[in-house]
A and B are shown apart, each in its own frame.
Chain A
Amino acid sequence: MPAFPKTWLWGLLAAAFLIPLLRPLLPDLVSDYRLFLVSTMIIASIAVLGLNLLTGFNGQISLGHSAFYAVGAYTAAILMDKLDMPYYATLPIAAVVCFIVGYLFGLPALKLEGHYLALATFALALSVPQILKYKWLEDLTGGVQGIVLSKPEVPFGLPLTEDQWLYYYCLVIMVLLYWAAANILNSRSGRAMMAIRDQYLAADTMGIDTSLYKTVTFGISAAYTGIAGALSASAIAFVAPDSFNFFLSIKFLIGLVVGGVGSLAGSVVGGIFYVLVDNSAQALSTFVKNDLGLPFDLSAYTVFGILLIVLMYLMPMGVVGGVYYLARSMRTMRGPQAKEQATLKQRVSG
């Protein structure tokens, strides 16, 4: 899939940076709660990007990314709570810790493929919340009760609210991480990663060190999701083992698939998607029960399921894939010359 058009990208970035500044003018539209919501979407898209690097670009399935998210979140929480570290300093440490954990998990995972790898990561996702609740670690992790934290304070006396600051903090981190990911993917290493995904045997035969790339990708992917977890610890100001259950892994996967596997823009869409559905599920359920009078109890899972089925029929390549095909078919509708131009363009940009 072609890269996102550059002009659009700059336009979106500008909008993302400028709109929250409009808060004093439109306090209801650009409310603190909405900014907080968008911050969680940004965090979700970083987490989905992590999964995308592994599954979309490297072909290793993972049902265990909630574990890396949890490790990142708890690393940040413990550092902030026990060592009084400032919130921004926890990010690099959480990234390193999660990279190590991901790398170490990637080593035995080399021997596993397809559904065996899925099962192994599934086991990881199930075990991490239990480990967090473990009695011997309770002093460190706060056990079932979790750890209550404080939200990041606005620095340098800037005239921003806490939620505005949080939004900018998350946005800057996201832009940096996406830029880094785009660079990795456009480099030799990126092409090696994708070669491993597309034709493992050919890649191996060509001399690509597949074991190295696979384990390092696991590490990087875990680091990305771990940073997202560390950000969420600051954003929600609370970590508890029950927030990092297996269903979170599924949500990442859903976000990945709905957004578009193997697409950076797809990760953003995926992150936005699953946060939106999660949040509106309650409102939807009350709407269905009270306003439509149906005797159904809609939960987030039901909505996810229905939307997923619909999307898989309409846009099997995810939202981004669907948009791309729509754009292409619109271009070809302009005439056979346009169609030729379009296919030529595609062949060149690949």
Chain B
Amino acid sequence: MKTNRRTFVGGLSAAAMLSGSRVAFAQKKYDDGATDKEIKIGHTNPYSGPASSYGVIGKAEQAYWKGVNDRGGINGRMINFISLDDGYSPPKTVEMVRQLVEQDKVLCLFNTLGTPTNTAIHKYVNQKKIPHLFVATGASKWGHYKEFPWTMGYQPDYHTEAVIYAKHILANIKDAKIAVLMQNDDYGKDYWEGFKDGLGKEVSRVVKHVTYEVTDPTVDSQVIQLKDSGANVFFNISIPKFAAQSMRKAANIDWKPAIYLNNVSGQVTTTMKPAGFENVQGVITAAWLKDPTDHQWDNDEEMKTWREWMAKYNPNGNLGDVNYVYAYSVCYLMEQTLKKCGDNLTRENLMHQAASHQKLRVPGLLPGITVSTGPTDYYPVQALQLQRFKGETWELFGDIMHAESS
């Protein structure tokens, strides 16, 4: 090629441009799933099956990320939120997650729901070094940063919650005889272990412990067994469908114990209403989110913003369903985490940012509860307050209890 001035200048400017842009590129770092234009996030949720009452969480999260994209995305990148139905079935979750990681090549997994379902993919995502963030389950094993450095929980862990219930029972109920209904998997067992630890020497107060499978159609026979034990306290470790069934059945067979309900079923719309408001007066559960049916939050700023978001992005959503508040809060946390990553969207940096929140105020959490994480603290929310069911909604009582979980 003849080297004349034109080609020389052309070549020089091309070289300058290329080297210049390379300098700019050096500051952006991406792993699979992140580009200049988009961030791919993977999600599995039970849209069908026995836990489908949690399906609204997935829908709400899709709506949230749509809202984020409408506002211009995060640092100029659109969120591509891929949410798949696993029907609360661990083998299906394994299949879906494999697809998300290997075919869709997502940057990370976010808020995958369920203890048995997440247990099935726990080893796999850590082997593949995929950030497994803010899982929608409170089992205590999601905080084991040493063996599983890529998995992080979100909600207060079940073990701590059960300890709180145990201590409350011992302090407030004279001559307690406790009956326990437990879902026969890791989630149920986590609560059960915590409960036993909380009772300590008084563990013999548990007079009956029955289990059910998540694939069972009803828990009627289990409830009858619990009544026959003569217990006056009922610790209910079940997901909304079975919690509602069991509390309704208890009332139908004229059994009126003091009921302690696990937080995962503490929703008015999906548990308390189907159980029948008249059957669940006085039920105690732990809370860490503002329940939208609680009138003390009617004029709360954060809840006002939440209602506006609901009106715009979830017009058909039930404004009384705390699952929507849950989804809003965890998405907010994820949004902040991604924002903090800036242009360094490697999986390692994402984990690092997730593990460095200092007392972050997340909208929807009860006042006084903030999110704190660290390299050795993979439990974002570690505080709870007890609430009692009165009328058609929950009434908070007592103080916020901050817990150090094991």
Which residues of A line the B interface, CB within 8 A? Answer: 31-33, 36, 133, 135, 143-146, 148, 150, 236-238, 240, 242-243, 282
Which residues B74-105 have CB closer than 8 A to chain A? 84-85, 89-91, 94-96, 98-99, 102-103
Chain A contacts for B294, CB-based, 8 A: none
Cβ A238 vs Cβ B91 within 8 A: yes
B99-129, CB under 8 A of A: which get 1 and which 0? 1001100000000000010011011100000
Q: Whole-angstrom distance between the alpha carbons of A236 and B121 in the complex?
A: 11
Q: Whole-angstrom distance between the alpha carbons of A236 and B120 in the complex?
A: 11
Chain B contacts for A240, CB-based, 8 A: 89-91, 120
Q: Whole-angstrom distance from the CB of A100 to the nearest CB of chain B?
A: 26
8 interchain residue pairs of minimum CB distance: A243-B91, A33-B102, A240-B90, A144-B185, A33-B103, A242-B89, A238-B94, A240-B91
Q: Whole-angstrom distance from the CB of A219 to the nearest CB of chain B?
A: 27
Q: Which residue of B lies closest to A148 (CB)?
A: B123
Among B98, B103, B116, which residue has its beta carbon within 8 angstroms of that of A144?
Answer: B116
Among A135, A238, A282, which residue has its beta carbon within 8 angstroms of that of B120?
Answer: A238
Is B214 close to A, CB under 8 A? yes
Chain B contacts for A242, CB-based, 8 A: 89-91, 215
Q: Whole-angstrom distance between the alpha carbons of A237 and B89 in the complex?
A: 16
Of the candidates A33, A36, A144, A282, the one having the most CB atoms from chain B within 10 angstroms of its own CB is A144
Among B90, B123, B124, which residue has its beta carbon within 8 angstroms of that of A146?
Answer: B90
Q: Whole-angstrom distance from the CB of B343 to the nearest CB of chain A?
A: 26
Among B94, B123, B185, which residue has its beta carbon within 8 angstroms of that of A145?
Answer: B185
Among A32, A133, A144, A145, which residue has its beta carbon within 8 angstroms of that of B102?
Answer: A32
Q: Whole-angstrom distance between the alpha carbons of A62 and B211 in the complex?
A: 33
Is B308 close to A, CB under 8 A? no
Cβ B214 vs Cβ A36 within 8 A: no
Chain B contacts for A150, CB-based, 8 A: 123
Cβ B98 vs Cβ A33 within 8 A: yes
Q: Whole-angstrom distance between the alpha carbons of A75 and B213 in the complex?
A: 23
Q: Which residue of A lies closest to B105 (CB)?
A: A33
Cβ B102 vs Cβ A31 within 8 A: yes
Is B336 close to A, CB under 8 A? no
Q: Whole-angstrom distance between the alpha carbons of A55 and B90 in the complex?
A: 31
Which residues of B line the A interface, CB within 8 A? Answer: 84-85, 89-91, 94-96, 98-99, 102-103, 116, 119-120, 122-124, 184-186, 211, 213-215
Cβ A36 vs Cβ B91 within 8 A: no
Q: Which residue of A lies closest to B188 (CB)?
A: A144
Q: Whole-angstrom distance between the alpha carbons of A238 and B116 in the complex?
A: 12
Of the candidates B91, B116, B184, B213, the one having the most CB atoms from chain A within 10 angstroms of its own CB is B91
Q: Whole-angstrom distance between the alpha carbons of A282 and B4 in the complex?
A: 60
Cβ B90 vs Cβ A36 within 8 A: no
Chain A contacts for B123, CB-based, 8 A: 148, 150, 237
Q: How many A-B residue pairs have CB under 8 A?
A: 55
Cβ B213 vs Cβ A133 within 8 A: yes
Q: Whole-angstrom distance between the alpha carbons of A238 and B214 in the complex?
A: 19
Q: Whole-angstrom distance from the CB of B88 to the nearest CB of chain A?
A: 9
Chain B contacts for A144, CB-based, 8 A: 116, 184-185, 213-214
Chain B contacts for A143, CB-based, 8 A: 184-185
* 14 A–B contacts, CB within 8 A, in A order: A33-B103, A135-B184, A143-B184, A144-B213, A145-B119, A145-B120, A145-B185, A148-B122, A236-B91, A238-B91, A238-B120, A242-B89, A242-B91, A282-B84
Q: Whole-angstrom distance from the CB of A136 to the nearest CB of chain B?
A: 13
Q: A33-B103, A36-B102, A282-B84 are in contact. Are A148 and B120 (CB under 8 A)?
A: yes
Q: Whole-angstrom distance from the CB of B97 to the nearest CB of chain A?
A: 11
Chain A contacts for B184, CB-based, 8 A: 133, 135, 143-144
Chain A contacts for B186, CB-based, 8 A: 145
Chain B contacts for A237, CB-based, 8 A: 123-124
Q: Which residue of A lies closest to B87 (CB)?
A: A242
Q: Whole-angstrom distance from the CB of B239 to the nearest CB of chain A?
A: 13
Chain B contacts for A146, CB-based, 8 A: 90-91, 120
Q: Which residue of A lies closest to B189 (CB)?
A: A145
Q: Whole-angstrom distance from the CB of A47 to the nearest CB of chain B?
A: 16
Q: Which residue of A lies closest to B47 (CB)?
A: A297
Q: Whole-angstrom distance between the alpha carbons of A122 and B184 in the complex?
A: 26
Q: Which residue of B lies closest to A243 (CB)?
A: B91
Chain B contacts for A33, CB-based, 8 A: 98-99, 102-103
Q: Whole-angstrom distance from the CB of A211 to the nearest CB of chain B?
A: 38
Q: Whole-angstrom distance from the CB of A43 to the nearest CB of chain B?
A: 14
Cβ A236 vs Cβ B94 within 8 A: yes
Q: Whole-angstrom distance between the alpha carbons of A237 and B95 in the complex?
A: 11
Chain B contacts for A282, CB-based, 8 A: 84-85, 96, 99
Q: Whole-angstrom distance between the alpha carbons of A242 and B88 in the complex?
A: 10
Q: Which residue of B lies closest to A297 (CB)?
A: B48
Q: Which residue of A lies closest to B119 (CB)?
A: A145
Q: Which residue of B lies closest to A282 (CB)?
A: B84
Q: Whole-angstrom distance between the alpha carbons of A242 and B102 in the complex?
A: 24
Chain A contacts for B119, CB-based, 8 A: 145, 148
Q: Whole-angstrom distance between the alpha carbons of A146 and B94 in the complex?
A: 12
Q: Whole-angstrom distance from the CB of A234 to the nearest CB of chain B?
A: 14
Q: Which residue of B lies closest to A146 (CB)?
A: B90
Q: Which residue of A lies closest to B215 (CB)?
A: A242
Q: Whole-angstrom distance from the CB of B98 to the nearest CB of chain A?
A: 7
Q: Whole-angstrom distance from the CB of B185 to the nearest CB of chain A?
A: 5
Chain A contacts for B91, CB-based, 8 A: 146, 236, 238, 240, 242-243
Q: Whole-angstrom distance from the CB of A274 to the nearest CB of chain B?
A: 14
Q: Which residue of A lies closest to B121 (CB)?
A: A238
Q: Whole-angstrom distance between the alpha carbons of A36 and B95 in the complex?
A: 11
Supplied contacts A144-B213, A236-B94, 7 more A-B pairs, CB within 8 Å: A32-B102, A33-B99, A33-B103, A133-B184, A236-B91, A238-B91, A238-B120
Chain B contacts for A148, CB-based, 8 A: 119-120, 122-123
Q: Which residue of A lies closest to B101 (CB)?
A: A33
